[in-house]
Amino acid sequence: MKVAVVGATGMVGDVMLKVLRETSFPVTELIPVASEASVGKTIDFGGLVCKVVGLQSALEMVPDIAIFSAGGQTSLDWAPKFANEGTVVIDNSSAWRMHPEHKLIVPEINGSTITSADKIIANPNCSTIQLVLALKPLHEKYKVKRVIVSTYQSITGSGVKAMNQMENERNSLEGEMAYPYKIDKNCIPHCDVFEDNGYTKEEMKLTNETKKILDPNINVSATAVRVPVMGGHSEALNIEFENDFELSEVRSLLHNQPGLTLKDDPTTNTYPMPLYAAGKNDVFVGRIRRDESQSNTLNMWVVADNLRKGAATNAVQIAELVAKLKC
């Protein structure tokens, strides 16, 4: 299986390479792709030294699968070109997520819908993936009506520039700013750009992508906040169902959901945290309790490594499904 990773020298691209090495994915030839500034550099892929190439060179090599993590405009410009050559593109940007002709995939939820006809497959937003994976078994049993989600998102979601900003602030150094304010010892309720309705693009991604992946009838209201954490997004969920539930059954459903790990025991201070989720591929769920102010409503806390399941791991899992179809 000839695999191209577009954006291989970036933060997410680096994690994608790690996940590919960790899995049994059948990579026979790796094609690392990056900007012209990185062309000619080498990447060590499990002992194999691979030379970084540009997009045109990668296109001419006709990979079986191309995993894109190089920004929306690059995906818009190049994904169709690769698809026209027969390459299956798995895109980590927002470029194709809401396109009606392309699937938005979380393998544990709707991976079975992928067919050999799908040439561009969208990887959801990082905060959406952990949200819908936690909602899936509960929606199937109790029917979700409405979700209020407040996110506490790692600076790694903004890339290397944001990490450098926080490190500079912690070391009292001047440097380039990724955010309009300092992030260390602060929380910024501003993830991505503001839209005309007063919500940010990140908040609207949570709303729109959840509807596309799970159910268009689910109402989602989101507030996305950037916090001075190096790795891992956290979400506080308030979920209203059509039907009532028992907490013991809720825990059982979450425990049995592939891709989720239940960490929920207040007596031992057991609950999900970014510190624990870092470097792991699962989504972690805890702080499960009934909302005592409203019927049929549940509160819980969901955490995941945004560079792993929120991006790289989910993309590689999609690639694994594609590889099975090709074989």
Residues of the chain with CATH 3.30.360.10: 127-306
Q: pLDDT tens for the chain, 327 residues: list them.
A: 999 999 999 999 999 999 999 998 899 999 999 999 999 999 999 888 999 999 999 999 999 999 999 999 999 999 999 999 999 999 999 999 999 999 999 999 999 999 999 999 999 999 999 999 999 999 999 999 999 999 999 999 999 999 999 999 999 999 999 999 999 999 999 999 999 999 999 999 999 999 999 999 999 999 999 999 998 999 999 999 999 999 999 999 999 999 999 999 999 999 999 999 999 999 999 999 999 999 999 999 999 999 999 999 999 999 999 999 987
Inter-axis angle of helices 126-142 and 247-255, nearest 10? 130
pLDDT of 231 reads 86
pLDDT of 182 reads 97
pLDDT of 226 reads 98
Partner residues linked to 121 by β-bridges: 90
Residue 205 to residues 131, 186, 222, 249, 315, Cα–Cα distance (Å): 11, 24, 9, 30, 18
pLDDT of 326 reads 81
Is 139 catalytic? The answer is no
Residues of the chain with CATH 3.40.50.720: 2-124+311-326
- Closest to 83 measured CA to CA, from 118, 32, 53, 107: 118
**Helix/strand/coil (H, E, C) string of the chain?**
CEEEEECCCCHHHHHHHHHHHHCCCCCCEEEEECCCCCCCCEEEECCEEEECECHHHHHHCCCCEEEECCCHHHHHHHHHHHHHCCCEEEECCCCCCCCCCCCECCHHHHHHHCCCCCCEEECCCHHHHHHHHHHHHHHHHHCEEEEEEEEEECHHHHCHHHHHHHHHHHCCCCCCCCCCCCCCCCCECCCCCECCCCCEHHHHHHHHHHHHHCCCCCEEEEEEEECCCCCCEEEEEEEEECCCCCHHHHHHHHHCCCCEEECCEHHHCECCCHHHHCCCCCEEEEEEEECCCCCCEEEEEEEECCCHHHHHHHHHHHHHHHHHHHC
Q: Which of 50, 102, 126, 139 is catalytic?
A: 126
CATH number for the domain whose boundaries are 2-124+311-326: 3.40.50.720
Reading the block at residue 41, the tokens are: 């550099």
Q: Does domain 127-306 have CATH number 3.30.930.10?
A: no
- Say how far apart CA 180 and CA 120 lie, in whole Å: 35
Contacts of 311 (CB under 8 A, 6+ apart): 12, 15, 16, 69, 92, 123, 126
pLDDT of 240 reads 98
Is 126 catalytic? The answer is yes
pLDDT of 278 reads 95
pLDDT of 47 reads 87
- Say how far apart CA 42 and CA 38 lie, in whole Å: 9
Q: Which of 50, 102, 139, 233 is catalytic?
A: 233
- Closest to 97 measured CA to CA, from 236, 224, 201: 201
- Say how far apart CA 97 and CA 209 lie, in whole Å: 7
